[in-house]
Amino acid sequence: MSGTDYIRHKIMIVSGKGGVGKTTVAVNLALALVENGQNVGLLDADITGPNIPKMLKIEDEILSGDGERLVPVYMPIGCDHGISVMSMAFMIERDAAIPWHSPTRLGVLRQFVDEVQWGLLDYLIIDLPPGTGDEPLSIATMMEVDGAIIVTTPQEVALLDARKAINMAKDAGIPVIGVIENMSGFVCPRCGNQVNLFGEGGGKRVADEMGVPFLGSIPIDPMIVKSGDDGIPFVATPHSSTVRSFEEIVERVYDAVHAQEM
Ligand SMILES: Nc1ncnc2c1ncn2[C@@H]1O[C@H](COP(=O)(O)OP(=O)(O)OP(=O)(O)O)[C@@H](O)[C@H]1O
Ligand SMILES: [Mg+2]
């Protein structure tokens, strides 16, 4: 059973600007959905900068296949569910650079879509490289996606790029599931005061201006940095206001995707 025909929902994680938290959102959204009883796949479409295996601590796994099809790395979560992951990181030495031009990258993506034995999945979460270049548009032509989630920080330069990402999706006929504002205010663990390092409320403002849903915001939290580096998604860490904020976002994503089914 190759290809993505047996996947019910496909969600792209997109941003205009780099480093705003796409991979963090992708990994934690995937785990939150698994914890809600869904079978989930994670496609690391960032061919030259694949980070998902590191963020799930499965970077030493080796791909298997039957000569024709590639089998994703399966990360069990509990007894019945898990995450199936496909990433370029499983195919290269850890620190190797991948100096590939777009046609080669898109060729690999095509293989990840067509030749991988994804099987029956409720969700495929697709983590894209930054920008509005070839990858997001190509993914949208390779398979029918439910829509794109746009991740931005509240910083003006990121918002500028987020607008472009929304316009790219609209022009290409890709539904926008909504905007997530990441790295919103930092709450000082000592005094409790909030410092808005990258500004305030920009994600919601852009969503409102462009007529797309706002899914919520995630604060800057040192726990997110540590959990990413340790390979333990933060939704699996003890409950905190950050985890609660993210769970609310997941509920909105779930509702938006299922509303499209009606
Ligand atoms: N809310 C947050 N609070 C603190 N650190 C964060 C937060 N979100 C992400 N980070 C950290 O910021 C860094 C960049 O995040 P991430 O890799 O998810 O961004 P990205 O958009 O996928 O980057 P790229 O464009 O390079 O693919 C990571 O080290 C991550 O742990
Ligand atoms: Mg990334």
- Ligand 1 pocket test: which of 23, 57, 180, 249 has the largest number of ligand atoms within 8 Å of its C-beta? 23
Judged by its nearest atom, the ligand closest to the C-alpha of residue 130 is 1
List, for residues 212-238, the tens digit of each pLDDT value: 999 999 999 999 999 999 999 999 988
Question: Residue 12, Cβ neighbours under 10 Å: how many?
Answer: 27
| Res. 78 pLDDT band, cuts 50 70 90 | confident
Question: How far apart are the CA of 24 and the centre of ligand 2, in A?
Answer: 7
Where do the structural domains in the chain lie, given as residue ranges?
A: 7-259
Q: Which helix (H) or strand (E) holds 148?
A: strand 147-152
Single-letter residue type at 245: S
- If you take atom 15 of ligand 1, which residue's CA is the nearest one? 21
CB within 8 A of 104, min separation 6: which ones? none
- Kindly report the protein residue whose alpha carbon is nearest to atom 23 of ligand 1: 19
pLDDT at position 188: 79
- Please report how many Cα atoms fall inside a 13 Å half-sphere around the Cα of residue 55, on the Cβ side: 28
Nearest bound ligand to the CA of residue 232: 1
From the list 188, 125, 187, 176, the residue with the least C-alpha distance to 152 is 176
d(CA 201, CA 141): 33
Task: Flag whether pLDDT at 262 surpasses 70.
Answer: no
| Top-level class of domain 7-259 | alpha beta
Taking only the tens place, the pLDDT of each residue in 196-214 is: 888 889 999 999 999 999 9
Identify which ligand lies nearest to the alpha carbon of 149: 1
Residue 169 has pLDDT above 90, yes or no: yes
Contact (Cβ atoms closer than 8 angstroms) between residue 86 and residue 43:
yes
Nearest atom of ligand 1 to the alpha carbon of 51: 17
pLDDT value at 2 more than 70: no
pLDDT surpasses 80 at 187:
no
Ligand 1 atom nearest residue 20's Cα: 21
Q: How far, in Å, CA of 215 to CA of 227, rounded?
A: 22
Work out the mean pLDDT of the chain and round it to a whole number: 93
Sequence-distant (6+) residues with CB within 8 A of 5 are none
| Residue 155 DSSP class | S
Number of H helices, E strands in the chain: 8, 11
Helix, strand, coil in percent for the chain, rounding step 5? 40, 25, 40
Q: Which two tokens stand for residue 258?
A: 């299922």
Look up residue 135 and give its amino acid.
E
Pocket around ligand 1 at a 6 A CB cut-off? 15, 18-24, 46, 49, 51, 129-130, 182-183, 218, 220-221, 224-225, 228
The predicted structure's pLDDT at residue 54:
96
25, 165 in Cβ contact below 8 A?
Answer: no
Give the pLDDT confidence score for residue 93 in this predicted structure. 86
How close is the Cα of 107 to the center of ligand 1, in Å? 27
